[in-house]
Amino acid sequence: MDLATILGVICAFSLVFIAIFAGGGLQLFINLPALMIVVGGTLGATMISYPLRDVFGVFNVVKKAVFTKSISINELIKRFLSFAKKSRKEGILALETDLKEVKDEFIVKGIQLSIDGLEPEEIRDVLETEVDFIRSRHQLGAEIFTTMGTFSPALGMIGTLIGLVQMLQRLDDPSRIGPAMAVALLTTFYGSIIANIVCLPIAGKLRIRSKKEVLTKEMTIQGIISISNGDNPRILEQRLQAFISPNEREVSGKYG
């Protein structure tokens, strides 16, 4: 997913820059006050709409969504298979040593609860609550970016209106009309770029990312419950594979 984002950013921005350079150079398109009004105004309107902590927290969510490598689902299934086999042979307490190598805190917590002797339904309750908070944090992130993607073109237009009103008041020097209008249009340009190449695509990615992460967490919960119930590894594998599309499945064949 990482790669797609990077490729997408490069692809979209490089083409915009090529068009800009081909037509006379970057300096025509750099205007700090114009950029400030769009970026600052959008941030301002977003800060009125959402609590401060959520607005700044959103950058963390993005960082995680773009840079965290998503766990391979087939890896996950393999891990749970090996847990299940060990747990059936040596008892669930034997998993405690394996937990030290597991980086995913969600799995560690779930297995630990199982080792601590909680009933499967209690474990599910605790973990589902955590998944609900993950889901609502992602949704809030996607929502904030959608909001920013709605405000930024509007603020671009406000900036252009300011420029137009100023230009129209002094039409006496015709040679300045063109450049003044060009500058006025820059805020609309910035607003469009921010909305369509930054905010709205990121909102889309967060939505997709959230779906996938929640699915992985649901699989993990299913796996932990299965181990906690002492299910046969074969049944565990079937349960987990029901979460993934048929052509993504790997047949393991090796359960005891």
Asked if 236 interacts with a second copy (CB under 8 A), we say: no
Quote the crossing angle between the two packed helices 120-169 and 105-115, to the nearest 10°.
160
Asked if 159 interacts with a second copy (CB under 8 A), we say: yes
Q: Name residues contacting a second copy, limited to 106-135 (CB under 8 A).
A: 129-130, 133
Q: Name residues contacting a second copy, limited to 22-41 (CB under 8 A).
A: 22-24, 28-29, 33-34, 36-37, 40-41
The C-alpha atoms of residue 111 and residue 125 are separated, in whole angstroms, by: 14
Residues 161/192, Cβ–Cβ less than 8 Å: no
By C-beta, is 91 or 179 nearer to a second copy? Answer: 179
Asked if 67 interacts with a second copy (CB under 8 A), we say: no
For residue 141 the two structure tokens come to 């992130």
Determine if residue 65 is left, alpha or beta; phi over 0 gives left, psi from -120 to 50 gives alpha, anything else beta: alpha
Residues with Cβ < 8 Å from 140, sequence gap 6 or more? 50, 54, 58
Q: Name residues contacting a second copy, limited to 87-106 (CB under 8 A).
A: none
Q: Which of 7, 93, 215, 235 binds a second copy (CB under 8 A)?
A: 7
- Size of residue set near a second copy by CB under 8 A: 86
Q: Which of 30, 47, 93, 215 binds a second copy (CB under 8 A)?
A: 47
Closest CA to 96 of 232, 222, 213, 227: 227
Q: Which of 164, 232, 239, 252 binds a second copy (CB under 8 A)?
A: 164
**What are the phi and psi torsion angles at 68 (to 5°)?**
-70, 125
Q: Write the binding mask 191 to 230 for a second copy: x where contact by CB under 8 A, - elsewhere.
A: -xx-xxx--xxx-xx--x----------------------
